[in-house]
Amino acid sequence: MLYHLALHLKQTFSWLNVIHYVSFRAMAALLTSLLTSFLFGNYFIEKSKLFFRSGVREYTPDSHKIKNNMPTMGGVFILATVLINSLMWCNLWRGEVFVLLLCLIGFGAIGFFDDLYKIYYKKGLSASRKFILQLSVSFVVGLLLVLNGIDLSVSFPFFKNIHPNIGLFFIPWVMLILVGCSNAVNLTDGLDGLALSSLIPNFALYSLIAYIAGHYTLATYLQIPFAGSSEITVIGTTLVGACLGFLWYNTYPAQIFMGDVGSLALGSGLALMAIIAKQELLLIVSGGLFVVEALSVILQVLSFKLLGKRIFKMAPIHHHFELLGWQESKITVRFAIISLILCLLALMTLKMR
């Protein structure tokens, strides 16, 4: 909105031309989303206590019983913050902006109804229904990307000349990444501030990558695909600001949980940023923590079904460390440090080609 307003007013107020720079709008979006969180966060928490309480938490250590009936669905507040500030600062003529926002809303809606079912019916959506809904939203997102003219090739880390064009297989590729990443983040969201503290460096990384991939000179210099993705940087930094602002309330001991509405939406948003910037395979490196969390659940289930034994004391793996005696806050900080290191390693690979 402000981008388009500045177009009409810059002849009169020349200083408004600064709003047309992606770098300026990216920093402004981060700050305004952070400010929005600080201004309205406590109000949302008070209202959530009336309508959105988590009930009894299942599949967690006994120490988590103190968190029963904690306000939840804070992801609604995160998404509202992102939407308002993205519409305020983004160039709304860019199709990928609306595709990314639609992805956040779509996966957020799935999480929203799952959370509501848990609150009012004591049981969330069935796994099959949830999976079908995720596939449906992912299919629509993939189709919209193709119609918007996205490059249908896949970029491989470390290999500058390998960019196979997968044609219409790009849509199931998008579906795989969106569903996988959103569920991995959802599994990670089990301790106060854990998912957010790991998401923030990833959103920051892909905001930078989107900017580089959207700048022809920088993309050519680093020999990565030019994706024209610079506008996604603004939404990325908005996500950073919104996550930082919510972490203020979600850090240990949490005042509110973000619920599936937050974790599913944010996980899908991160995945789609990577896809649009043509660096989706880097998620395996930067989002290594999410990969490990998801693998720990898969291995635990397979081991129990095939061998009748459990590999971990409890899955996902962060609960395993809890039962080993690690304090919740220590796990969160250590995992956040690991995520930051992995993001820096992923950034280094852009030059290692």
Give pLDDT tens digits for 203-244: 999 999 999 999 999 999 988 999 999 999 999 999 999 999
Read off φ and ψ for residue 126, nearest 5 degrees.
-65, 150
CB 150 within 8 A of CB 276: yes
As given in the structure block, the two tokens for residue 17 are 């031309």
Give, as one character, the DSSP assignment of residue 155. -
CA distance 267 to 325: 29
pLDDT at 57: 61
Q: What is the 3-state secondary structure (H, E, C) of 205-235?
A: HHHHHHHHHCCHHHHHHHCCCCCCCCCHHHH
pLDDT at 353: 67
CA distance 317 to 230: 36
pTM: 0.94
As given in the structure block, the two tokens for residue 337 are 């440090």
As given in the structure block, the two tokens for residue 70 are 């904690």
Upstream peptide bond of 61 is cis (omega within 30 degrees of 0): no
CB 211 within 8 A of CB 22: yes
DSSP SS3 for 36: helix
More confident site: 139 or 253: 139
Of 32, 22, 16, 88, give the one whose Cα is nearest residue 6. 16
Q: How many CB atoms lie within 10 A of CB 306?
A: 8
CA distance 10 to 4: 10
More confident site: 16 or 49: 49
Q: What digits encode the pLDDT tens for the residues 108-128?
A: 999 999 999 988 888 889 999
pLDDT at 53: 75
* Average pLDDT estimate for 187-206: 96
pLDDT at 274: 97
Instruction: Indicate the pLDDT class of residue 59, thresholds 50, 70 and 90.
Output: low
Cβ-based neighbours of 70, under 8 Å, separated by 6 or more: 53, 54, 254, 256, 257
Q: Where are the alpha helices (DSSP H) in the chain?
A: 2-9, 22-51, 75-89, 95-121, 127-147, 170-188, 194-213, 216-222, 232-250, 259-276, 283-286, 288-307, 317-323, 328-349
Q: DSSP secondary structure string, 256-316?
A: ---HHHHHHHHHHHHHHHHHHTT-GGGHHHHTHHHHHHHHHHHHHHHHHHHHS--SSSSSS
Q: What digits encode the pLDDT tens for the residues 266-305?
A: 999 999 999 999 999 999 999 999 999 999 999 999 998 9
As given in the structure block, the two tokens for residue 263 are 């974790």
CA R_g for the chain? 20
pLDDT at 337: 97
AA letter at 240: V
Find tokens 């972490």 and name the residue.
247
Find tokens 């995160």 and name the residue.
78
- Average pLDDT of the chain, as a whole number: 91
Sign of CA dihedral 10, 13, 19, 21: positive
pLDDT at 58: 61
Give, as one character, the DSSP assignment of residue 14. G
Instruction: Indicate the pLDDT class of residue 69, thresholds 50, 70 and 90.
Output: confident
